[in-house]
Amino acid sequence: MLVVRSSHKPSATKRTILALIVGIILFVGSNFIDEYRIFQGAQVAAYLVGIVSIVLLTGYSGQITLGQGAFMAVGSYSAALAVQEFGLPIWITFFIAVLAAALFGAIIGISAGRLSGPYLAGATLAFAVGIPALANAIPILGGEQGLSFDIGYAPGKYADTVSPYKWLFWICALCAIIAVVIAVNITSSGLGRQWRAVRAHETAAALCGINPARSKVMAFTVSSGFAGLAGVSFSATVGLVSPSGFTLALSFLLLTGAILGGISHISGALGGAIIVVIIPTVFESWTEEASLGVATYLPGIIVSALLLLSIALAPEGPSEALHKLRRKH
């Protein structure tokens, strides 16, 4: 009989209270941080949701993906079209992005249900390459120039007192907090235990009454919905939805962040997001101040070196190493 053990975790109520506390801290703290750091915080929040989507699919369900950026693109374009073609409010487009990306994820999940390992990775890779090219060829999607996506200013009387960057950060941080809470609740539920069972041993899971194919499709669907939310948050930070924003490099960057933070734990997603956003910016600034000719390449080299070190020293990520150390004590 297959047994999937889970460590003791706080209840859903405690997680919600903790999320509210974190939200209040971020809300108050944003009033004491300069605009550039606020903008970086919005970027971190967007990448955080994208990394969580990979952790759910790969870390919990065991399905390898190289195309998460494509699902982000689906969510972003759906949101942008909802605004430009139908004039819907911005806040509704976030839900549309999640639903559209989840639908595409379900379709891809059903199509790739019989694939695993490198074959599944290759299928998602093809999807990641094809979606930007397809968006570039469809006139309604704006071609190479893309579609504008501006979340605007804070409503009412707050428009004059709340800067656009702070308003952007509040929205992206709220999306990230909600996404993390939902993701943790999912992984603590029966669905999350099914994913871990299928990842551990697919045949044994089937003998226990779990439908592996349905479990994998559900994982693809849920993960893609999170990626859609990450996509619309990401587009909000740049104010544009275009094929150049969702290249294969974005999918690889998200996967790198997931590995660096810990592919098996949602708690490591924040660390991975900070690494892929903050560290390149810091090293780029240092190299420019020192007038080094490698300013363009050094950030990527540093992140790649961290990835190699993580694979060599902590294959499941630093967060897994910390979890093991805590269990020993």
Instruction: Point out the least confidently predicted range of 17-31, 138-152, 157-171, 277-291.
Output: 277-291
Residue 6, pLDDT score:
46
Q: Which residues fall within 8 angstroms of residue 268, CB to CB, at 6 or more apart?
A: 55, 258, 260, 261, 262, 317, 318, 319, 320
Contact 311, 259 (CB under 8 A): yes
Q: Is the pLDDT of residue 104 over 80?
A: yes
List the domain range (segments joined by +) for residue 217. 12-246
Q: Is the pLDDT of residue 4 over 50?
A: no
Report the number of distinct structural domains present in the chain.
1
Give a yes or no: residue 257 inside a domain: no
Q: How many beta carbons lie within 10 A of that of residue 210, not counting itself?
A: 19
Residue 196, pLDDT score:
92
Which contiguous run of DSSP H or E holds residue 106? Answer: helix 90-111
Give a yes or no: residue 256 inside a domain: no
E strand segments, 114-244:
147-148, 240-241
Q: Which two tokens stand for residue 134?
A: 């397809």
User: Average of pLDDT values for 107-132?
Assistant: 80
Instruction: Point out the least confidently predicted range of 25-29, 31-35, 126-130, 221-225.
Output: 126-130
Give a yes or no: residue 54 inside a domain: yes
Instruction: Please provide the average confidence, as pLDDT, over all residues in the chain.
Output: 84
Highest mean pLDDT out of 9-23, 148-162, 186-200, 301-315? 186-200
Residue 90, pLDDT score:
87
Q: Is the pLDDT of residue 118 over 80?
A: no
Give a yes or no: residue 255 inside a domain: no
- The C-alpha angle 26, 56, 316, rounded to 5 degrees, equals 90
Give a yes or no: residue 306 inside a domain: no
Give a yes or no: residue 280 inside a domain: no
Distance, in Å, from the CA atom of 203 to the CA atom of 216, rounded to the nearest integer, reads: 14
The percentage of residues in the chain with a pLDDT greater than 90, rounded to a whole number, is 39
- DSSP 8-state class, residue 191: H
Q: Which two tokens stand for residue 177?
A: 């907090």
Q: Is the pLDDT of residue 159 over 90?
A: no
Q: Is the pLDDT of residue 2 over 70?
A: no
**pTM given for the model:** 0.87
Q: Is 44 helix (H, G, I), strand (E, B) or coil?
A: helix
Residue 10, pLDDT score:
66
Give a yes or no: residue 251 inside a domain: no
Give a yes or no: residue 3 inside a domain: no
